[in-house]
Chain A
Amino acid sequence: MIVQALGVRTVDDLSEFGTDPWWLSLIKAVLIFVFLLLLTLFNIWFERRVVARMQHRAGPNKNGPFGLLQSLADAMKLMLKEDIMVKAADRLLYVLAPVISVIMAFLAFAVIPFGPVVDVPFTDRQTPLQLTDLPVGVLFVIAVASVGIYGIVLGGWASGSTYSLLGGMRSTAQVISYEVAMSLALVAVFLYAGSLSTSEIVNAQQRLWYALILLPSFIIFWVSMVGETNRAPFDMPEAEGELVAGYFTEYSSMKFAMFFLAEYINMVTVSAVATTLFLGGWRAPWPLSLWDGANAGYWPVLWFLAKVMMFMFVFVWLRGTLPRVRYDQFMALGWKVLIPVALLWTVAVATIRAMTLDGGLDRRVLVGGALVAVLLFLLLSIVGERAPKEEPEAEEQPFDPFAGGYPVPPMPGQRLPRPEPAGVVPGGAQPDQEDDTARRSATEEGD
């Protein structure tokens, strides 16, 4: 069944794209821009309300209906704030960084399909609900996301502050490691869909979502997309308790707002990519898909949004629940767990695909092979465990009572030397005795 559903296409059918007149493209681009801005405002409110519910609070509920205008008010406030340029900042890069961040965040949405081919109102034209598509659409998203990280790295570096620098540094390492895992997770999808174009991948999921057949890929992608967007529990670049605000510590006013905007758009972008690649994109979920009209007209936009908001909710849920992972533990998770698993999974998927395509190998052979592989893996992991290192014996170290410039007590392994006679009057213990007797007399008096 799967094989039928996933017939391999070698040539992408992108003939629907590139036929729009310039005004239609312009309208689409502006609509996407406005949509993202509004969604960001909504998401900020959504996050605050949901987290508030998790914490026995009300959340913003004063400005506008249900407090919906709160984030708009906050945005206005940010615009009116003083724009601070730090003295030690590299002026050009300092200004450029938030701009890079925010532009790249918007760009990725150009290839995300919102729905099928629809009629344009008031005309007799038809057009897909997607700005454009490329034969390498998903690669474009990944590339744009990578360039977007430059905003964070450059912002951290150009601020001329230690906190920012550490934040930018963490971000670099984090994104490099997680991009690998993320891309590897996508390879399985490409193998099954036979295409890198987003609209084709959505078409390939007509019968079955890839989240079901490629569950490991989906999980790896989900984990790494949280890492990629610097969200809790992987928000080390802006770890509040440690780095104050990380890479944007020194930013204020609109420049800060741009980073803020970019973060929320990035969340929407990765959610939209996950939706497109794993949850059937704009296609209606199962009970709804029984209705024929569900996948036609403008309805799919609704399903698409619902799926994206589900991912957003998980983002918020994670933030409300989990503490921050430590930086090195996070890197270990990326390099030692996610990437090897993703590699193995990719190899497995490729093997299975090749074998089933070449005209049918028995399923039982596959299952048997998988069992042998699991056994081998377990065996290796048992054999591979190393004996714990012996701890070196604590040696007796010389004791410097003034190490570091101020008096310190002897540490474990150090012994207090016999005190040398200091230049004070001998008998320094006498006041103590006096005090003792005084104290005793006082208590006796009391009794």
Chain B
Amino acid sequence: MAEERVVGVGAGAAGFGGYDRGGGEPGGLATQDMVLNIGPQHPATHGVLRLRITLDGERIVGCEPIVGYMHRGVEKLFEVRDYRQIIVLANRHDWLSAFSSELGVVMAVERMLGMEVPERAVWARTLLAEMNRALNHLMFLGSYPIELGAITPIFYAFRERETLQQVMEEISGGRMHYMFNRVGGLKEDLPAGWLDRASAAVAAVRRRVPQIEDLIFGNEIFLARTRGVGTISPELISAYGVSGPIARASGVDFDLRRDEPYLAYPELAEEGVLRVTTGEDGDCHSRFGMLLEQVSVSLDLADACIARLRSLPQGPINQRLPKILKAPEGATYCWTENPLGINGYYLVSRGEKTPWRLKLRSASFNNIAVLPEVLRGCVVADMIAILGSMFFVVGDIDK
């Protein structure tokens, strides 16, 4: 007797309407698909993402991402914090791109206030955002090989991270949650001699990043594991709203830094420092390669920002704010190209000192949503390769 087993009822409520996997040919041997829970505690999920996977042998016939283990109700918390406090929350959902996420909030509030940010602050913000991007990508350049079983590159990646983190720490006091943005500029001026140290750090990282590439990128096994695996078509990208390096690896030429410029990016794009690279294949290999290229672009941008900051005359780096900061009534949508993709804040204010609503659109949520489409038909080992190449942060999914 064939045995039918309904899987996927529960969180996410998948499995409605008779999900008819399992069972075999009528009259044949009774077979049963195996349900494997990857996570919430699993080394490959970087935290508490859970994938409920239905296996036929080692082949995946169904996958359902179950999110929300880390849900902190951040959007609701935004509503009871004033605009200074919101920055603290905003840099926590994606802990690898804290500076870039802070940026979205302050830019939204500045736009509502019609506030002009001093030029030095604009360039310093661009510099820090790009260093943050490099930091974020270096993390994934190290952790992805580990998921494929190569344990060495992460130590090289962390050496570079440490170099960059030191200058970030010197300026902000934080190693991950910088909390350096303020409405109207930055918290403090740059310390004396910091630009030299930052430029030395950028140079050191630029010199050593090729080592990571040499270690893993051309490796035969790495190629066999990643090439042609987990291909995402541009149609799928737009269907699910996937963004950032993953989208660009599939050939979707979209980068907010160029297409809806903010900070100092228009000038950098004109100078030709800001290059938007796109891949073609959309597989794990091109996604990993995308990170490598973006790191080198980020370092170029950082250098350009440092050069500009050196030439700018002395001046303020922030605006004097009133004791009680109130955004005028209205709404705005501010989106930035975060390291992992598009990060958007939809800010609705009723003229009070807290937002009436602050909707957060985070990159990882959409990037993960596409997983079931990509994973179907893969083997378990590919699942790890694909999951790792989606470059997500669980806090950014669950908010």
Contacts and interface: CB of A to CB of B under 8 A. Distances in A.
Interface of A: 51, 54-57, 162-163, 166, 232-233, 235-236, 239-244, 319-329, 402, 404-406, 409-412, 435, 438-439, 441-443, 445-447
Contacts of A326: 224-225, 379, 381-382, 385
Interface in B323-350: 328-333, 348
5 closest pairs, A vs B, by CB?
A446-B114, A324-B149, A442-B330, A323-B150, A405-B16
Contact of B148 (A241, A243, A406, A442): A241
Contact of A241 (B34, B219, B384): B384
A242 B332 contact: no
Contacts of A162: 34-36
B221 A323 contact: yes
Interface residues of B, number: 60
14 contacts: A51-B151, A241-B148, A241-B149, A242-B44, A323-B149, A325-B221, A325-B225, A404-B64, A405-B8, A405-B12, A405-B17, A409-B240, A441-B330, A446-B113
Contact of A323 (B216, B332, B379): B216
B149 A240 contact: yes
B221 A411 contact: no
A414 to B, nearest CB: 9
Contacts of B222: 323
Given A320-B152, A323-B222, A439-B333, A446 B382 contact: no
B155 interface: yes
Which residue of B36, B330, B388 has the most chain A CB atoms within 10 A of its CB atom?
Answer: B330
B95 interface: no
A406 B13 contact: yes
A411 B148 CA distance: 29
A320 B150 CA distance: 7
Contacts of A324: 148-150, 221, 225, 381
Nearest to B349: A442
A412 B236 contact: yes
Contacts of B156: 55-56
Contact of B149 (A232, A402, A446): A232
A442 B64 contact: no
A80 to B, nearest CB: 24
Given A56-B155, A404-B372, A442-B111, A323 B330 contact: no
Given A241-B147, A244-B42, A409-B239, A445 B380 contact: no
A302 B114 CA distance: 80
Contacts of A405: 8, 12-17
Interface in B343-399: 348, 372-373, 379-385, 388
Which residue of B224, B236, B388 has the most chain A CB atoms within 10 A of its CB atom?
Answer: B224
Contact of A319 (B147, B151, B348): B151
Given A405-B17, A412-B236, A233 B332 contact: no
B170 interface: no
Contacts of A240: 43, 149
B107 to A, nearest CB: 11
A240 B16 CA distance: 33
A412 B379 contact: no
A323 B114 contact: no
A411 B373 CA distance: 9
A377 B277 CA distance: 44
Nearest to A55: B155
A409 B366 CA distance: 12
B145 interface: yes
A327 B58 contact: yes
A438 B328 CA distance: 11
Contacts of B145: 323
Given A242-B381, A406-B12, 17 more contacts: A57-B155, A163-B36, A166-B36, A241-B146, A242-B384, A323-B219, A323-B225, A324-B221, A327-B58, A327-B379, A405-B17, A406-B14, A409-B240, A412-B236, A438-B331, A438-B348, A442-B331
Nearest to A400: B17
B383 A242 contact: yes
Given A239-B381, A241-B43, A233 B14 contact: no
Which residue of B19, B112, B156, B221 has the most chain A CB atoms within 10 A of its CB atom?
Answer: B221
Nearest to A447: B114
Nearest to B112: A442
Nearest to B148: A323
Interface in B143-165: 145-152, 155-156, 159
A412 B374 CA distance: 12
B233 interface: yes
A162 B380 CA distance: 12
Contacts of A327: 58, 379-381
Nearest to B327: A442
A54 to B, nearest CB: 6
Contacts of B379: 326-328
A292 B383 CA distance: 59
Nearest to B145: A323
A244 B14 CA distance: 26
B20 to A, nearest CB: 12
B12 A235 contact: no
Which residue of A242, A243, A325, A402 has the most chain B CB atoms within 10 A of its CB atom?
Answer: A242
Given A239-B381, A404-B64, A233 B221 contact: yes
B115 interface: yes
Contacts of A166: 36, 58, 380
B235 interface: yes
B285 to A, nearest CB: 12
Contacts of B43: 240-241, 244
